[in-house]
């Protein structure tokens, strides 16, 4: 009986001990799960912060100066004093990586027509041989266009298409093992870092670093046309840089270098690039059509200047006087009225008494260039809002567009 009691108590003690062990294990396991969860959440938070603001800003939060962070032969090292053998800073490492990843994607372009010669840069955008450059790099009706790759190979290039409005041209070469850039379609911010790889003065694949200085800039290009919505930057640009690549700090293409703004004709601190959003919209049309289809109208007009305003005795200050409307055309069917009284004005016969266009898509139009730019991002068959002044009151019309003739250009 006594032995049975002892066995009973031993069993109880063992059960209690086992329960304690199990509970302890469960508690430790729960804590480990929570710790792992906390670590995962912490790592995810760090990754989100680094992706958004960069590792430099993260380290700055810890009061670690960027100038004290370097990559040495031992790897990443953080120094608290100046007694170290500096190799490359984080920023320099980023520059090196972007350059080495993209240098083979930038080409040198030459163009000849008779005794005339031009040179510039270009960017490989896919493995099938399409190369972007500026239209002004190429001579009209060129005899020969050659592309020089990073391996010193030269390839004859075919012009696939070009666009005056954006100063973009698309070439194609036949070659294996091409290394295209990655084109990023993202919004830019003034102040963000940019890097260019171009061929200034024929110095092939030169790297320059800078920042985005401004956005949506309109610039008159070398062919005297106006190119809209450009990126302004302070990267170095010289003759031969046109058509080169502009990258962000991830090493993705965000623009094609196109021009400078300078009274001397030399670089004075401001360069401009065509943003990737425009490139991605233009390239498919160049491949398909050889040009970009844009919307236009089937009527003609005369800008309302001060002299014409007084001649017509009008009480409005801006607009385009509708001269003639194509009968049974798109504008005609939309209700646009042409002039009905023929008069001689500035040695020309015009029709007066019709509509005066004051706004296109809510934008005031005073002259041909205003009208041209208001329709620059439209396509044939788009239906556009026009505001006209008729019989001393304003009237809204919706007019379907036709395809813009190739002979129409900004003045």
304: domain CATH number is 2.30.42.10
pLDDT digits (tens, 9 = 90+) for 84-102: 555 677 788 889 999 999 9
Question: 275 with 200, same domain?
Answer: yes
pLDDT of the residue at 259? 75
CA 258 – CA 278 distance, rounded (Å): 13
Question: 113 with 177, same domain?
Answer: yes
Task: Tell me if 409 is assigned to some domain.
Answer: no
Domain finish residue from 287, 308, 331:
287
Q: Which residue in the list 105, 208, 242, 270 is annotated as catalytic?
A: 242
Predicted confidence (pLDDT) at residue 210 exceeds the cutoff of 70: yes
pLDDT band at 271 (very low <50, low <70, confident <90, very high): confident
Domain finish residue from 38, 63, 88:
63
Task: Tell me if 408 is assigned to some domain.
Answer: no
Domain finish residue from 253, 270, 287:
287
Question: 247 with 385, same domain?
Answer: no
Cβ atoms of residues 324 and 299 within 8 Å: yes
pLDDT digits (tens, 9 = 90+) for 49-67: 666 666 666 666 766 655 5
CA 261 – CA 241 distance, rounded (Å): 14
Nearest to 388 by CA among 328, 326, 320: 320
Question: 112 with 5, same domain?
Answer: no
Predicted confidence (pLDDT) at residue 183 exceeds the cutoff of 70: yes
Helices 2-61 and 90-102, axial angle in degrees (round to 10): 80
Question: 223 with 359, same domain?
Answer: no
Domain around 213: 69-287
More confident: 357 or 4: 357
Question: 123 with 241, same domain?
Answer: yes
pLDDT of the residue at 351? 86
Predicted confidence (pLDDT) at residue 15 exceeds the cutoff of 70: no
Average pLDDT for 178-190 = 92
Question: 130 with 165, same domain?
Answer: yes
Task: Tell me if 410 is assigned to some domain.
Answer: no
pLDDT digits (tens, 9 = 90+) for 370-385: 898 889 889 999 999 9
Contacts of 217 (CB under 8 A, 6+ apart): 229, 230, 231, 232, 272
243: tokens are: 């058509």
Note if 167 is an active site residue.
yes
Percent of the chain surpassing pLDDT 90: 48
Question: 56 with 91, same domain?
Answer: no
257: tokens are: 């270098």
Question: 116 with 213, same domain?
Answer: yes
Question: 259 with 306, same domain?
Answer: no
CB-based burial, 211-230: b 16+ in 10 Å, e otherwise: ebbeeebebebeeebebbbb
Question: 33 with 156, same domain?
Answer: no
Q: Which residue in the list 163, 165, 167, 221 is annotated as catalytic?
A: 167
Q: Which residue in the list 118, 136, 259, 298 is annotated as catalytic?
A: 136
pLDDT of the residue at 236? 86
Question: 83 with 134, same domain?
Answer: yes
pTM: predicted TM-score of the whole model, two decimal places: 0.73
Predicted confidence (pLDDT) at residue 200 exceeds the cutoff of 70: yes
Note if 359 is an active site residue.
no
More confident: 133 or 259: 133
How many domains are contained in the chain? 3
pLDDT band at 105 (very low <50, low <70, confident <90, very high): very high
pLDDT of the residue at 170? 97
């Amino acid at each position: 009986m006594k032995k049975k009691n002892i066995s009973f108590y031993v069993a109880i003690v063992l059960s209690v001990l086992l329960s304690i062990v199990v509970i302890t294990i469960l508690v430790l396991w729960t804590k480990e799960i929570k710790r792992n969860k906390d670590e995962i959440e912490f790592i995810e938070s760090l990754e989100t912060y680094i992706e958004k603001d960069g590792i430099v800003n993260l380290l700055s939060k810890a009061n670690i100066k960027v100038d004290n962070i370097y990559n040495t032969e031992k790897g990443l090292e953080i120094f608290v004093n100046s007694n170290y053998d500096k190799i490359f800073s984080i920023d320099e490492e980023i520059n090196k990586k972007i350059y080495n990843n993209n240098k083979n994607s930038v080409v040198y372009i030459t163009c000849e027509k008779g005794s005339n010669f031009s040179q510039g840069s270009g960017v490989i955008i896919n493995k099938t041989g399409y190369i972007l450059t500026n239209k002004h790099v190429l001579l009209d009706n060129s005899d020969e266009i050659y592309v020089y790759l990073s391996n010193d190979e030269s390839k004859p290039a075919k012009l696939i298409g070009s666009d005056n409005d954006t100063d973009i041209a698309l070439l194609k070469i036949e070659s294996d093992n091409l290394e295209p850039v990655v084109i990023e379609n993202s919004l830019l911010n003034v102040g963000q870092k940019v890097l260019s790889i171009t061929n200034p003065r024929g110095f092939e694949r030169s790297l320059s670093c800078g920042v985005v200085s401004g956005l949506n800039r309109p610039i008159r290009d070398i062919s005297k046309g106006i190119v809209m919505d450009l990126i302004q930057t302070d990267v170095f640009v010289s003759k031969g840089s046109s058509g080169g690549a502009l990258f962000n700090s991830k090493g993705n293409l965000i623009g094609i270098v196109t021009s400078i703004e300078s009274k001397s004709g030399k670089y004075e601190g401001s360069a401009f690039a065509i943003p990737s959003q425009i490139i991605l919209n233009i390239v498919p049309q160049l491949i398909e059509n050889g040009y970009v289809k844009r919307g236009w109208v089937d009527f003609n007009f005369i800008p309302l200047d001060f002299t014409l305003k007084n001649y017509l005795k009008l009480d409005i200050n801006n607009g385009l006087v509708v001269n003639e409307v194509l009968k049974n055309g798109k504008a005609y069917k939309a209700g646009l009225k042409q002039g009905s009284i023929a008069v001689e004005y500035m040695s020309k016969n015009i029709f007066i008494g019709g509509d005066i266009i004051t706004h296109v898509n809510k934008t005031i139009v005073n002259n041909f260039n205003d009208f041209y730019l208001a329709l620059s991002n439209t396509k044939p068959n788009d239906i556009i809002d026009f505001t006209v002044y008729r019989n001393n009151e304003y009237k809204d019309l919706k007019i379907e567009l036709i395809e813009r003739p190739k002979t129409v250009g900004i003045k």
